[in-house]
Amino acid sequence: GQQVMQIPQYQHVQEGEDFTTYCNSSTTLSNIQWYKQRPGGHPVFLIQLVKSGEVKKQKRLTFQFGEAKKNSSLHITATQTTDVGTYFCAGLGSSNTGKLIFGQGTTLQVKP
């Protein structure tokens, strides 16, 4: 079945350093979504990418969708302590099933 793999599982960075998390799907995706979950909270939507090769930016966050629509990345420039949390990618399959599969998430810790 459809699987979404995400690496790394954990990342500790010094404040001001950059951070990247990678997401790979076993199947072609209709779209890829990114979420952030703060400790003790629920996942909150960040962005959605639909087109092959699409790149979107939100301030210090850059999101990319691969040409084959099977991989994606989230890059944070100059991390801040407010970036702490777990970042999940989620893939919506190419067939119209409504099935939304999440990656395992990358937990980011930022040392001030």
Partner 1 sequence: SQTIHQWPATLVQPVGSPLSLECTVEGTSNPNLYWYRQAAGRGLQLLFYSVGIGQISSEVPQNLSASRPQDRQFILSSKKLLLSDSGFYLCAWSKGLGPMGTEAFFGQGTRLTVV
Contact assessment for residue 25 and residue 4, using Cβ atoms and an 8 Å cutoff: yes
98, 110, 111, 112: residue in contact with partner 1 (rule CB under 8 A): 98
Query: CA 23 to CA 25: how far, in whole Å?
Result: 7
In the region spanning residues 12 to 41, those forming contacts with partner 1, defined by CB under 8 A, are 30-31, 33, 35
CB within 8 A of 28, min separation 6: which ones? 68, 69, 70, 94
Determine which residue in the list 23, 88, 108, 110 makes contact with partner 1, applying CB under 8 A.
Answer: 88
Using CB under 8 A, which of the segments 15-23, 59-67, 75-83, 99-107 binds partner 1?
99-107
Q: 92: which strand partners?
A: 31, 100
- Contact window for partner 1 (CB under 8 A) among 19-27, 53-61, 73-81, 89-97: 89-97
CB contact at 8 A, 27 and 70:
yes
Q: Which residues bind partner 1 (CB under 8 A)?
A: 1, 6, 30-31, 33, 35, 42-45, 48, 50, 88, 90, 92, 94-105, 107
